[in-house]
Amino acid sequence: MREARLIGSLRYRSLRYTKNHPLRIPRVSLLLEFLDAMKLIADEEKVEGREATLEELLLFHEREYIETLIEADRCQCVPKGAREKFNIGNYENPVSPAMFRGSSLATGSSVQAVELFLEGYTAFNPAGGMHHAFKNRANGFCFINDPVIAIEVLRKKGFKRILYIDLDAHHCDGVQEAYYDTDEVFVLSLHQSPEYAFPFKRGFIEERGEGEGKGYNLNVPLPKGVNDTEFTYTLEKTLIYLKDVFQPQVYVLQLGTDPLLEDPLSKFQLSNVGFLEAFRIVKDAFGVGVYLGGGGYHPIALARCWTLIWCEISQREAPDEITPAGEKVLRSVDWEEFDDEVDRTYMFKELKDKPRTGEIRAEIKNLLQKVKATLYS
């Protein structure tokens, strides 16, 4: 039986994005505080995250780009030409303590997750999953692509059949580009269709890889309003098909919580118990993997959801109700609902959402037919 480890740090409290940025919210620090308040984590299960080394960062990113991030962090300014060349210093990817120090800490923690996995633990790095960053350019709130660096560490360890699964509401364009021409990493992403959601230009089902990577990239672009039933059905069917054509030695799973109904940056309607079921479907299919966080822009929804994931990883029975101490932690968050007419008081009393099930629409079934045809072609 593998022991569980959660890699995190309260240092993220001071490594925040700029005011009014969607990632300004507390995430990892809130999760740690909430788990402590709920008595759902032991001290020996906590691992203090560390910064990535320069050598680790250069496993994927170009040196000039990393050096520019370091300089921007040092002066908390935009170095000359960096905005145009590296997409640094705009509203999407602002200069802040999160830009390099926070990203480096998240990336080093993803490397730790790989190391702990290889040592026989089940490891979760909720700060990881920054899947949009490119080799030499910031993108989609992401500066350093820690999933790619985690995968590169696995490749250096000799793994040649790695599966990357991304459950974030947004397509993993940075990871896709990194492995688009190799057959050693299969990239699977379930996400909002780029017809209506970021990154808009990538994430279509027709993108299958090129060269040696042809057939090793699969996008499942979903319509608006996806419910628990549709999401888990799509994931389960897709994994059944995928296992016919690719048998991984190891997998990395990105667990961004923005598919939840409450999240302001997606059009999905999942409950946290539906998201937990999706996690179980992956684990049942492939066993234990390396677990990373990802998107998630509603702090209360995120903390509740990742708590359920952590309980599953650490083989705890998740409680139904939030304790007074847990509620106090959640209510301490400086956060305003985007739609203040919606009653969200249940989020402070109940840990588990009521399931958000429904019919499986014809367009979902049609999409799965395309997925099957694409994988078997």
Question: Residue 8: beta bridge partners?
Answer: 48
The identity of residue 196, as a single letter, is: Y
Annotation marks residue 21 as catalytic: no
367 CA to centre of own chain: 23
Question: Residue 291: beta bridge partners?
Answer: 124, 253
Give yes or no for a contact between 261 and 268, defined as CB atoms under 8 angstroms apart: yes
Geometric angle at alpha carbon 333, from 290 and 24, rounded to 5°: 65
- In sequence order, what are the residues at sequence separation of 6 or more whose Cβ sits closer than 8 angstroms to the Cβ of residue 353? 261, 271, 272, 273, 274, 304, 346
Q: Based on DSSP, count helices (H) and strands (E) in the chain, helices before strands.
A: 12, 8
Read out DSSP for 45-68? GEEE--PPPHHHHTTTS-HHHHHH
Q: What is the CA radius of gyration of the chain?
A: 19
Per annotation, catalytic residue among 61, 131, 132, 298: 132
How many C-beta atoms lie closer than 10 Å to residue 223's C-beta?
A: 16
Catalytic residue IDs:
132
